[in-house]
Every structure is written in structure tokens, then in C-alpha cells.
Amino acid sequence: MLDVCLLGTGGTMPLPRRWLTALVTRFNGHSLLIDCGEGTQIAMKEAGISPNPIDVICFTHFHADHISGLPGLLLSMGNADRTDPVTLIGPRGLVRVVTALRSIAQELPFEVRMVEIEDRTQEFDLFGYRIQAFRVNHNVTCYGYSLSIPRAGRFDADAARRQEIPLKAWNRLQKGERVEMDGRVYRPEMVMGPARRGIKLTYCTDSRPTPAISDAAAGADLFICEGMYGDPEDAGKARKKKHMTFAEAAALAREAKAEELWLTHFSPSLVGAARYMDQVTEIFPNASLGWDGRSCTLDFPEE
Amino acid sequence: MLDVCLLGTGGTMPLPRRWLTALVTRFNGHSLLIDCGEGTQIAMKEAGISPNPIDVICFTHFHADHISGLPGLLLSMGNADRTDPVTLIGPRGLVRVVTALRSIAQELPFEVRMVEIEDRTQEFDLFGYRIQAFRVNHNVTCYGYSLSIPRAGRFDADAARRQEIPLKAWNRLQKGERVEMDGRVYRPEMVMGPARRGIKLTYCTDSRPTPAISDAAAGADLFICEGMYGDPEDAGKARKKKHMTFAEAAALAREAKAEELWLTHFSPSLVGAARYMDQVTEIFPNASLGWDGRSCTLDFPEE
């Protein structure tokens, strides 16, 4: 199962009682953070989540509201005596920007690894997460991320017995390994059913709507998407500033056939967001507003 | 009069309900900020203070907890359509560090001027503030700041009449200007009494106690000083990490003959700070704990 916490829901600048948009997930002892604006480390502590086990930080882009909290977060992880390396993933320019920001976070007791995304879509397998970065459409190079937890097929014990596979090979076959034993070779596909549906979470901020987003979010259990503006009258502003309205995000969720949509990355000027939700749920019924610290646990579906 | 607001009281890292130590003052329409850690712009908004009229930002040093909020603050000032230049003052290295941090705050609608402090003590006169930077003793180059509002002497109208100084010259003489009129020269000292006591505020974080601090804080109306540790048993840790205990700060205030002491820059591990205050007020009676948003107004003394 995947623990999900939307740390903040603000865009552009942090406000009292509204942290900047960022997401943290926990899976199997490994935490992953997407974006880290000013105050994200405080939002984590408020949510009761330690920054220390963060193994991967993905950046959508390098506007300050998505990365300015990085030096402080790294230093806090260092103060908590972390020694394991941290992997940063982001658009081209990551090394330049992070190196510049580290002018105030020079001494860390762990290695900072950096991976720049080269293609329009790119996959990374880290700590049990399948991370798919997909290019979106903002006024600078910007990516969304789908996080998937793949799930192997069901183990068929009858088939294993039928094929006289020794018991001591079963566990390794379940883990997907090929096993040689007593002169025979056993392959996982001899005993494992087809891969089952895993968990999928898609996160996208700072973009105009594009098919790349609904493609990436296809069938997601949870789609967290920016909605900079609630008022349909702000559609022109959204186009100009390369952001979305709530309704545009809802249309993407419908197109993607996602299970659920949380809206986030609200304009500092947005107040009374709830009054726009009737129109939004007409487009995509399972849409709701995010809030700072909103959490859920995504489980593998029962079969 | 000088409005003073201690925006935060934390050291090392920001915490829920404890912003990092920073100070903002307002005088005659011009705001001045000392230090700008992660979240300082949010602390300002919580205190009801706009970041927009900040004309000067002084940095004690370049540890992240004192400067990491700068890019976000500059961008927020830009979003509020500021066009007047902002002057940054700090130790050598200011240009290098700020240039690096501006990799995520490149486009601003105002000029950022930078002044690096060259000497052990150095004075700057800006917007009616006399700013005295004084070198302190930390593990990197670090400065404290005294902010003074000088006050001219009293205007002696009788003396002006006696010397037959034309009425239309009075105002300029009061402002300290030399006036030539109808072939005669009038100088301010002909009509102005000796300079009166002004307002003085001294701010010091991140240092061991040194005579430079008590010298700089001599006679201050308010002395805001770091007290990283409350427990006298942490004196060794304070020495090692180049910080102070509450008692050491109180001894500096006594030495300086300051009017009042506020303690700040508390260690993240400090809880129950109040229980150490009896010992502190034995050393310096008018000492108290700072708190986030603690404010006061310093007035010219009545005469």
C-alpha cells in the first residue's frame, strides 16, 4: 500500500495557513517527495512525517515555489544524521540549479545524486516505485509524474506442484527470479499468473491541459492536478499564465478515466473555492478540493 | 518612532509554530529586514506586515536558516509590483551567494543592490536609519547590527530671532542645511541645540559572547540577542557550536547597560525555556523571552 500526503495546496507564494503544493508518498519504508517549495519541510513536520527517509525528490520545474525549500530540507535531513544517498530527478538544468542552491547547503553527510530527464517521457525504477515523468506545457520546461507500484501475478501453487518444482525454489520464483536447481531451470512464468493491477498516482502542476497529461493519468487511482483558478471567468488568465481552471483539470480526469481527482496549486487570490465545485463535479463526479495535509492510503485492489 | 517586530525565534531549522529568527523594523515609511530564513515571508504576513516596502535587507551571515527565504521574498515583492530598488547588506560573499540563489528568482521588476561589509565595524546611512554592522564570533564570518534613528537638537527660535535669521531659512536650518540668503550665510549650529538622544536597537545572532557585541549594544533601548540554549549545562555545547546560553546573552546586556533584552534563536531541541529565566533575570533584570511576532514601538524619549 502507498501512503499519500498532499503537503500543501498553494501556488506562486506560501501564505499563512496555506503551504506551497508538494506531495510526499511512503511505500515500504521509502519516502518520495514531489516538489519542495519554501516551507515544505515545515508542512511535513506538521503532517507528522519525518523528512529523514526521503530517498527520492522529483521536481516538476524550477520556479521558486517548487524548489526553494530544497536547501533547508537537505540540511534538516543532514541534521537528522542521514547518510544514505538522496536521488533528485528533474528537468534539464537540475544540476545547475541545485548546485547554485547548495551554496547555502554545502556540507551534507550524504551524497546528492542528480538525474536530468532527457526525453518527453521517461521511466525510473527506484525503491519499488515506478516513476514516469511526462512533459507538460508550462512557460518553462515542466514535467508531471505518475508513481506506480507494480504488482506481480498470483502464484499458482497447484501448477508448481504439478511441475514438481521444489518448495525451496518457490519464494525466489515469486520474486520474479529465474532458479537453477538440481540441473533443472525454473522460470517465474511457469508458476505466476499475469501481472495484477497495481497502484497508480498521477501528479501534475503548472501546465495547460494537454493530452500528455490525460494519457499519463489513464486509469490512475488518484490524480492530483493543479487548478490555479476556480472561476470559469479566469479561463483567459489561465491560458495566458499557462495554468488551468478547475474545470480544465476535471476534463482531464474524465478523459483519463481516473478514479479520483484532487485539485491543488491554488492562486493566492483564490478564496471560496468550494462554490465552484458543483460545476466541476458535473464534469468529473469524483473531484474534490485538496487541503494542506490531505492524506489517503492507496491499496492494491481486492480480487 | 520605530516599529519593531521579531518575526521568529527559531535557530537552525524552521518548525511548526516557530519561524526562523528574523527582525523587521518600520520607520517613516521604510521597512528594514534583518535575515530572511525559510518562511520569513509567511511570518511577515502572519504579523500583518507587507513585504513590499522593505528597502533594506541586512544579513548576519549565509547559513541557510538566515537567508534561504530570500528568493521567495524577492519574488513576492515583485508580484506586488515593487519597482523601487532593494539594498542588501551582508558579509563578503554576499554577491556570490545572492547571485546563486537568484537562479530561481531571475526576473524581478526592481533592482537588487548589494553592499558587502569590508571592515570589522561599518556604518551605512539609509532611509533615515543609521545602520552599524559589527563583526561577531561565529564559525563563519558573521555580523550583528545596531539600528539607530538619530535625533537632531532642539531648534532655538529665540536665538534665530536674536540673530535676525529670516523666517524662510528656519525650516532648512532645522533640517541641518547651510543656508545662503541675501548675502548672508546661516549655519544650523547657530540655532540648533546639541543632538538629542535618538532610538537604538541592537540585534545579534550566531555568535559567542564578545566585547564587540556589548560595545555595539551600549545603551540600546532594545537588545535582541541569540540564546541558543537555556540550560546552563549546555554551556559546553554553546562554546563548541559558537552560540550562547541565555545567561551569556544576559551578561552581554548587563555589560552594555541596555534598557531591555529579548532572547531569540532557540535551538530546535529547546523546550520549556521559561524555567531558565529566573537565573537570567538575576544577571539582567529586564530580560525576557522573544516569541514569534513579538512587537514593540520605540519612541524618542520625552524631554
- Segment A202-230 shows an average pLDDT of 98
Q: Report the percentage of chain B scoring pLDDT > 90.
A: 97
Residue of A7, A13, A59, A99 best to disrupt the B interface, most CBs of B under 10 A: A13
Evaluate the CA torsion angle B176, B178, B184, B190 in order and state its sign. positive
**pLDDT reported for residue B301:** 82
**pLDDT reported for residue A303:** 63
Pick out the residues of the known binding site of A for Zn(2+). 61, 63, 65-66, 138, 206, 265
For residue B292, give the C-alpha cell. Answer: 514569534
This model of the complex carries an ipTM of 0.92
Q: Which residues of A are catalytic?
A: 65
- pLDDT tens, B274-297? 999 999 999 999 999 999 999 999
**pLDDT reported for residue B14:** 97
- Segment B235-239 shows an average pLDDT of 97
CA Rg value for chain B: 21
**Cα angle, residue B53 at apex, residues B52 and B56 outer, rounded to 5°:** 110
Integer distance in angstroms from the first to the last C-alpha of chain A?
15
The Cα of A187 is separated from the nearest Cα of chain B by a number of Å equal to: 51
Are A14 and B71 an interchain contact pair (Cβ–Cβ within 8 Å)?
no
Beta strands A179-181 and A184-186: pairing type? antiparallel
Q: How far does Cα A153 stand from its chain's mean position? A: 24
Are B68 and A72 an interchain contact pair (Cβ–Cβ within 8 Å)?
yes
B92 touches chain A (CB under 8 A): no
Rounded to whole angstroms, the Cα distance separating A14 from A69 reads 11
What single letter denotes the amino acid at residue A221? D
Rounded to whole angstroms, the Cα distance separating B20 from A39 reads 11
| CATH architecture, domain B2-152+195-298 | 4-Layer Sandwich (3.60)
Whether residue A228 has pLDDT greater than 80: yes
- Give helix A94-101 / helix A70-79 axis angle, nearest 10°: 60
Whether residue B303 has pLDDT greater than 70: no
In chain B, which residues have their Cβ closer than 8 Å to the Cβ of A14? 39, 41-42, 72
Mean pLDDT of chain B: 96
Among B101, B100, B84, B95, smallest CA distance to B36 is for B101
Q: Report the percentage of chain A scoring pLDDT > 90.
A: 97
Whether residue A302 has pLDDT greater than 80: no
Length of chain A: 303
Q: How sure is the predictor about A301, in pLDDT bands with cuts at 50, 70 and 90?
A: confident
In chain A, which residues have their Cβ closer than 8 Å to the Cβ of B71? 64, 68
A103 touches chain B (CB under 8 A): yes
The burial class, CB within 10 Å (0-12 / 13-18 / 19+), for A233 is: exposed
Q: B147 — phi, psi (to 5°)?
A: -110, 125
Beta strands B261-264 and A179-181: pairing type? unpaired
Evaluate the CA torsion angle A278, A281, A285, A289 in order and state its sign. negative
- pLDDT tens, A8-56? 999 999 999 999 999 999 999 999 999 999 999 999 999 999 999 999 9
Rounded to whole angstroms, the Cα distance separating A6 from B7 reads 27
Rounded to whole angstroms, the Cα distance separating A76 from A56 reads 15
- pLDDT tens, A70-81? 999 999 999 999
Q: Report the percentage of chain A scoring pLDDT > 70.
A: 100
For residue B21, give the DSSP letter.
P
Whether residue A173 has pLDDT greater than 70: yes
Evaluate the CA torsion angle B82, B27, B46, A7 in order and state its sign. positive
**pLDDT reported for residue B302:** 76
In chain B, which residues have their Cβ closer than 8 Å to the Cβ of A104? 62-64, 67-68, 97, 100-101
Asked if residue B65 belongs to a known ligand binding site, the reply is yes
Q: A101 — phi, psi (to 5°)?
A: -65, -30
Q: A289 — phi, psi (to 5°)?
A: -80, 135
In chain B, which residues have their Cβ closer than 8 Å to the Cβ of A67? 104
Closest residue in chain B to residue A93, using alpha carbons only:
B103
> How many C-beta atoms surround the C-beta of residue B301 within 10 A?
11
For residue A15, give the DSSP letter.
B
By the 8 A CB rule, do A206 and A226 touch? yes
**Per-domain boundaries in chain A:** 2-152+195-298, 154-193
In order of A96, B121, B230, the CA distances from A101 in angstroms are 9, 29, 32
Helix (H, G, I), strand (E, B) or coil at B59: coil
In order of B161, B183, B185, B186, the CA distances from B180 in angstroms are 17, 7, 4, 6
Closest residue in chain B to residue A47, using alpha carbons only:
B16
- pLDDT tens, A86-126? 999 999 999 999 999 999 999 999 999 999 999 999 999 99
- pLDDT tens, B40-94? 999 999 999 999 999 999 999 999 999 999 999 999 999 999 999 999 999 999 9
Q: Which DSSP string do the residues of B42-101 spell out, in sequence order?
A: HHHHHTT--STTEEEEE-S---HHHHTTHHHHHHHHHHTT--S-EEEEESTTHHHHHHHH
Mean pLDDT of chain A: 96
Length of chain B: 303
The set of residues, in sequence order, having a beta carbon less than 8 Å from that of A82 and lying 6+ positions away, is A52, A109, A110
For residue A147, give the C-alpha cell. Answer: 508513481
**pLDDT reported for residue B55:** 98
Are A101 and B100 an interchain contact pair (Cβ–Cβ within 8 Å)?
yes
Whether residue A127 has pLDDT greater than 70: yes
